[in-house]
Amino acid sequence: MAFIKALSYYLPERVLTNEQLVAEFPEWSIEKVAQKVGVNSRHLAAEDETPGDMAVKAAQKLFAEYNISPKDIDFVMLCTQSPDYFLPSTACIIQHKLGIPTSAGAFDYNLGCSGCIYGLAMAKGLIAAGIAHNVLVLTAETYNKYLHPSDKSNRSIFGDGAAACLVSTSGFAEIGNFSLGTDGSGAEKLIVKTGAARCKQPTGLSTVDDEGHTRYDDYLYMDGGGIFNFTLEAVPAMMKDILAKNDIAPENIDLYVFHQANKFMLNTIRKVCVLPKDKFYVNLEETGNTVSSTVLIGLKQCISNQAITAGMNVMISGFGVGLSWGGTMLHFTDTPR
């Protein structure tokens, strides 16, 4: 068995409010942004602040909060789509900065909105195989550095941040069985086309999509309608699979903590899946969509405000860029903190 033993997160100091955003795009209103995406403000990484920097700060908070020694960590994995370098793996640099033993394994993995779920699945597998006992799962993203200044839609949605989760042989939340999926045919629905091996040099090219949004080769592009349709197709089937694989009935689930994409999408998922509003977590107001960190941040916030207590069953899931999706059940065997 594998358990979540500790949770923490870090948000950058710089904050972009709706008031500041609307000042750049006067055709919008503060109320429209808040109503549409459910975000009042979002944190942005500093110019010289990387996902590696943020992941280190999240891990340091976790160590301090739970009185955990870096010497006890025997594996490190970092989920990011904006690594500090093409090589080496940012997780290796983090191992050194945190003072984790050189006997620990470390690697990066490139995933977005489903990233923390995949990290938990891999960590559980490492523990089940006897390869590790204390796996530090880190998620960190700086999507805002990929956004074109004129991209008001995505700038209103995304925030930067990092989260840290210690998966161990004991803890307060037992990790259940997973439902995972991938559909690479939708890769271009959320993509940065240039900068990597396929097209290393910037092109400076842009086109306008069917929704009237400008698609820049050199910046992040999201087909909002396509992602929305994909989510409504993938999530209900994934939820049924999670229930079946964990042999649990819907009425025995106490809380749903899903990827915090945007308020409209979350409310639509809740209605389509007929989920009780009081059991469905929605909270993007001060963070925005932090990509791979949203679920871990959400769990920590629920623990801090005592929305999650011992004995509860919590379904978690992530979905998006890839296209990819994943989910599992958490059974809180002890009082979380």
Is 291's pLDDT higher than 90? yes
Whether 305 is catalytic is no
- Among candidate residues 116, 289, 302, 331, the one labeled active-site is 289
- State both tokens at 259: 């990827």
pLDDT in tens, 313-332: 999 999 999 999 999 999 99
Residues of the chain above pLDDT 70, percent: 100
Q: Is 277 left (phi over 0), alpha (psi -120 to 50) or beta?
A: alpha
pLDDT in tens, 25-39: 988 888 888 888 899
Q: What is the mean pLDDT of the chain?
A: 95
- Beta carbons within 8 Å of 198's beta carbon, 6+ residues apart: none
- Secondary structure element (H or E) that encloses residue 259, with its range: none
Query: Measuring CA to CA, which residue among 137, 122, 140 is closest to residue 80?
Result: 140
What is the mean predicted confidence (pLDDT) over 200-215? 87
Predicted local confidence at residue 337, as pLDDT: 84
3-class state of residue 200 by DSSP: coil
Alpha carbon distance 195, 212 (integer Å): 25
Whether 289 is catalytic is yes
Alpha carbon distance 215, 203 (integer Å): 12
Residue 213: pLDDT band (50, 70, 90) is confident
- Beta carbons within 8 Å of 218's beta carbon, 6+ residues apart: 192, 193, 194, 195, 202, 203, 204
C-beta of residue 165 within 8 angstroms of C-beta of residue 296: yes
Predicted local confidence at residue 23, as pLDDT: 92
C-beta of residue 119 within 8 angstroms of C-beta of residue 137: yes
3-class state of residue 142 by DSSP: coil
Distances in Å between the Cα of 152 and the Cα atoms of 178, 201, 221 are: 35, 25, 12
- Among candidate residues 43, 79, 92, 113, the one labeled active-site is 113
- Among candidate residues 259, 262, 302, 331, the one labeled active-site is 259
Is 211's pLDDT higher than 80? no
Alpha carbon distance 87, 204 (integer Å): 25
pLDDT in tens, 76-112: 999 999 999 999 999 999 999 999 999 999 999 999 9
Instruction: Map tokens 């389509």 to a residue.
Output: 272
Predicted local confidence at residue 212, as pLDDT: 79
Predicted local confidence at residue 6, as pLDDT: 98
Predicted local confidence at residue 28, as pLDDT: 82
Q: Give the Cα-Cα-Cα angle 324, 181, 159 (nearest 5 degrees).
A: 25
C-beta of residue 26 within 8 angstroms of C-beta of residue 85: no
Cα dihedral sign for 284, 287, 289, 295?
A: negative
Whether 43 is catalytic is no
Alpha carbon distance 92, 100 (integer Å): 10
Predicted local confidence at residue 77, as pLDDT: 98
CATH architecture of 3-171: 3-Layer(aba) Sandwich (3.40)
Instruction: Map tokens 């990790």 to a residue.
Output: 175
Alpha carbon distance 268, 13 (integer Å): 32
What is the mean predicted confidence (pLDDT) over 222-240? 94
Predicted local confidence at residue 32, as pLDDT: 81
- State both tokens at 111: 């995933």
C-beta of residue 136 within 8 angstroms of C-beta of residue 92: no
Q: Of all residues in the chain, what percent are helix, strand and coil, respectively (each to 5)?
A: 35, 25, 40
What is the mean predicted confidence (pLDDT) over 189-216? 89
Predicted local confidence at residue 30, as pLDDT: 83
For the chain, helix (H) and strand (E) counts, in that order, are 9, 16
C-beta of residue 200 within 8 angstroms of C-beta of residue 129: no
Alpha carbon distance 266, 317 (integer Å): 12
Q: Which of 37-41, 66-70, 109-113, 170-174 has the lowest mean pLDDT?
A: 37-41
